[in-house]
Each structure stands twice: as C-alpha cells, then as structure tokens.
Chain A
C-alpha cells in the first residue's frame, strides 16, 4: 500500500504515503467520530426525556435548596440589619443541627446506604446507564480502528514528541528508526477525541452529551467513592451550619449617612478608620467625586479638596 522512501536528511524523515490512506482512513475516522458524537447527544436527549427523570419531591427539593439559602445569607448578609442577620443565622444553624430540613429525619445519623434508599438507587442506576451508554460507542470505535486500521502510519504530527510516546503512538508499526512524529491511526483517534470536544460545543450548544471526556472523569470519580452517589445532606447541612456560625456581620449601612453626606460635599470624609483599605478607597472615592461632580457642587468640593 505504501512505498517508503527514506530521505537522507537526518532532520526530518519524510515518507511518501499513498493518498488512498488519506481518503479512506484519515477523513473517515474523523467523520465517524463527529457523527457518533452527535448521535450520542441526540440519543441522550431522547432517553433523558423519558420516564427516567422522576420529579423530585418537595422535601427533596427543600433539602437541597436550604443549603443555597445558607450560602446566600453568608454572601449577602451584610445588607440586612444586624438583628435580622442574627435571627436568621440562629434559626438556620439550629435547623441544620436538628435536621429540620432533611427528607427523612430518622436517618440522620445512619450512613446513607444507596441500596435501601429507593431514590438514591434510581439516581445511581441513572448515572450508570448514562455512563455505559457513553463508554460503549468509544470502545466500539476503538476496536473498529484497531481491527481495520492497524499496521501502518497514518499521519505526521507537526510537533515533536519524546521517544517514550513512540510505543504508544506507533502501535502497529514497530520500527526502531522512524520518527515519533509519524503516528498510527489509534493516536489519530485520541487526537480527535480531545480536539473535537470544543467542536461539539460549537455544533450542539452547551452541555452536550457527545463529550466523552466528561464521562471518563465522572466514571473515575464514581469508582473512587461508591457511596458518593446519594449525597449525604445531613453532613452538608452540618458543614453549612459551621460556616454560618463563623460568618461575621459588618453592616453595609453602618455609616451610610456620612457616606451620603460626603457624596454631596456636606461632610468631610470621616477619619474614622474601620480598615485601612476602606480608608484608601473612601479617599479615592472622594477625590473622584471632587473632580467629576456636577457644576453646582464644584465650588464646595474644590474648597474641601484643598484641605486634603
């Protein structure tokens, strides 16, 4: 199929490859991978819309959303008055500790066994089904490539690699002299696997199921922690309650009157420093106000900025 004419240049070996390889291997492998990816995505959509998506019960939703509520309190708590913040903090930490928001409060201290919890079981089955559906096409294609397209080099990589990759990339063609840049079809398959991910995002929009990589990482995570699947909300709640207890409250509106008055030039910037950064920020802000305020205030501010 190919005659090999080794050039005398030591720098880069150039092989003459039959154009038939390009037509019948290079392009087809790429096309097949793209099509299979699209097919997988569409099938996932079809399967996903089926009876497998069981609607979560109100209690389950409540369980997971209350975590977000704690996070929102932590993130934006400085915008509400201290007493309200304290009320909510106490209420939520108590609720988390007592397990008020858990789906079945009885199972609070038992480790969640995915076998007995029916919804957890379903979720695990779902995940496994999806993973298997993803892995099968990949293995099939790999087998197909190994069967039909082994024993010859396919393409030259434009960039050099170390010798260690030689055995992996030149699977069927064990020659001691050939450059590592000449690779077999299996490595072309891997190249496509990585490179086509962003193309799939382009073609199919975000969150498509054609992405084999994501499933592989998910698989490896799952095998690492088999009980990870139905999340243990009690632990999460306890963690969140600890986070909440540690959150301080520094009220946004603490010195808002002074801020407002100084914005209109009625007040020199208060030298009450609560933190060095705020001081610098406030001074900068005052400087900006001084230079860019409306014409009515320019007179006042100029006088004031002279004093700084």
Chain B
C-alpha cells in the first residue's frame, strides 16, 4: 500500500479552507483517511478546523457515519460552543428536520443575536422550506445592520429575481456598486437587470452601465452584446431618449466592430470547423442588425 502523504493532505485541506471552495468528494476522501487511520494527532490545533471542514463535506456527500464521528469529537471538546451547535443544526437540516433546526438556531440567537453564521443558516432553512417571503424578511433585517456583506446582497437580489421583482433586485445591485465601485461584474449584472425591466429610462441607464463595464474591462463580450441590444432597442423605440441618435448609432457600430474583432481573434487562436461556423453566425447576425438602420 502506498504511503499516505498526510502532509500534502493537510495542506490541500488548508488551501480549500482558505479559498472557500466546495469540493466535498476530495475533502471526504482525505478527511476520512486522516480520521479513520489516526493521523489526527499530527495536526495539532488545526484538527478542530479540519473536523469542521470534513463534517460539512460529509453532510454534502451523505456520509452520515463520518459526519457523526466528527460532530461527536467536536462536541466532546467544545461542549457549549455556539459554533458546534450550528453544526448540529446543519446536521438536522441535512436530515430534513427543518423545524428542529430552526428552533435550535432561534435558541442560539436568543443568547447572542448578532451571531452571523446562525442568522445565515436560519435564512437557508427558510429557503429550504420554500418560505421565500420569510427568507427575504430575514435577509433584509440582517442587511439593515450588516450592509457591507456583499455575498448576502447578491443572495437577496437572486431571490428577488426569482420573483421578477426587478426594481428591488436593482436596488441590491446599487448597494453592491456602492461597496465595490470598480467591480465591473456588479455593473454588468445591474445593466442586465435594468434591460430586463424594460422601460425607456431603464434602457438608457442600462446602456450607460454597459458602457461602464466596457470602460472598466476592455472588450467584455457580454457587455458588447448588451450595448448592441440596448442600442437596437432604443433605435426601434424611436421615442425621445436622453441620448441623441448619432451617439446611439455610433455605439451600435462600435459594438459590432469590437465584436467582430474579438471573434476573429478568437477563431485565429483555435482550429476547427465549429469555430468557423460560429464566426459565420456572428457575422451574419451583426450584418443583419446593422442593415436595419
């Protein structure tokens, strides 16, 4: 049997913990080996984080025995810790005992109502139960206090989008832009929400936002398509827009030009018929849309 390189295993697990990547299969394999073959002694103080990590991965992977083992050892070491209670709650969630999990979380919050992890788990339970309304309420309540939590704003916006509440989703994206103004992805998402929520002001705004993405990230293909769609929409609507006709058509031709550049460069790098087909389709579409003016 080949020796188990536990040092590399420890490092891999540490890397995964740092990056937050969710790779349950790898973690369960490595973690199971470490725990069942007794390498935990070599970890020192890190062992408790590893237990937590392996526990969550085991829940993902439905390896209940491994999860039980980890939870037992954690409970023995930290008997009254809220963090371990949350893990117990997660196990209840995995076993579909959602109401019990909710009770557990509420109990933790009674003692310490600013425990972020508990609040987030509670929201997850509401989502799992399908009680999106309560989830949205809980999210808003949390964000009222912790306004700078970007991933939570994204979560709230995706919930709103599920219910086609475009204006509210746009609000969330504006908050995100306030948090990270140079992040072109937030501008992109905002622009797409605006375009979907179709009225004349929004399309104008969407056009500006797509231009912003292009300013921040040159030749962003999704944004180029966005510019094309917005400009064609504005030209078709032909009602008074705040931007003059010449600018709109200039932007339109600029977008077409950049798109054809990008795709010609793209197909230069790759070989094969499928890419030529793609290029052809794009060219046809671009020519079609240009012809209509």
A interface, CB within 8 angstroms of B: 55-58, 61-62, 65-66, 68-69, 72-73, 76-77, 79-81, 84, 252-253, 256-261, 263-264, 266-267, 296
Contacts and interface: CB of A to CB of B under 8 A. Distances in A.
Contacts of B181: 76, 79
Nearest to B261: A296
A261 B178 contact: no
B114 interface: yes
B243 A58 contact: no
Contacts of A62: 144-145
B114 A253 contact: no
B204 to A, nearest CB: 10
Given A61-B145, A79-B177, A56 B247 contact: no
Contact of B174 (A80, A256, A259): A80
A72 B179 contact: yes
A72 B174 CA distance: 12
A232 B258 CA distance: 56
Given A260-B215, A260-B251, A261-B254, A80 B145 contact: no
A253 B212 contact: yes
Contact of A61 (B146, B205, B258): B146
Contacts of B243: 257
Interface string B129-155: 000000000000000111110000000
A252 B205 CA distance: 12
Contacts of A73: 178
16 contacts: A57-B113, A57-B114, A58-B114, A61-B145, A65-B148, A69-B148, A72-B147, A72-B178, A80-B178, A253-B209, A257-B207, A257-B211, A257-B243, A260-B211, A260-B251, A263-B215
Interface of B: 112-115, 144-148, 171, 174, 177-179, 181, 205, 207-209, 211-212, 214-215, 243, 247, 250-251, 254, 258, 261
Given A65-B145, A76-B178, A77-B178, A258 B112 contact: no
A80 B247 CA distance: 22
B208 A257 contact: yes
Contacts of B207: 257
A263 B243 CA distance: 18
Given A55-B114, A256-B215, A257-B243, A264 B254 contact: yes
B217 to A, nearest CB: 12
Nearest to B180: A76
Contacts of A84: 171, 174
Contacts of A263: 215
B interface, by DSSP: helix, strand, loop or mixed? helix
Contacts of A55: 112, 114-115
Nearest to A77: B178
Contacts of B258: 264
Q: Which of A57, A73, A76, A77 has the most CB of B within 10 A?
A: A76
Contacts of B247: 257-258, 261
B177 A266 contact: no
A253 to B, nearest CB: 4
A61 to B, nearest CB: 5
A266 B254 contact: yes
Given A72-B179, A261-B251, A65 B147 contact: yes
Closest 9 CB pairs of A and B: A62-B145, A79-B181, A58-B114, A253-B208, A58-B113, A256-B211, A260-B211, A69-B147, A80-B174
A81 B174 CA distance: 9
Contacts of B209: 253
Q: Which of A257, A261, A267 has the most CB of B within 10 A?
A: A257
B215 A259 contact: yes
A77 B214 CA distance: 20
A256 B208 CA distance: 7
B250 A266 contact: yes
Nearest to B205: A81
A296 B254 CA distance: 14
B147 A253 contact: no
A140 B212 CA distance: 63
A269 to B, nearest CB: 14
A216 to B, nearest CB: 33
A42 to B, nearest CB: 17
B144 to A, nearest CB: 7
B127 to A, nearest CB: 21
A76 B179 CA distance: 8
Contact of B254 (A79, A259, A260): A260
A80 B177 contact: yes
A79 B211 contact: no
A263 B257 CA distance: 14
B180 to A, nearest CB: 9
Given A258-B247, A260-B211, A58 B178 contact: no
Contacts of A69: 147-148
A301 B147 CA distance: 45
Contacts of B215: 256, 259-260, 263
Contacts of B177: 76, 79-80
B258 to A, nearest CB: 8
B6 to A, nearest CB: 30
Nearest to A260: B211
B260 to A, nearest CB: 12
A264 B251 CA distance: 10
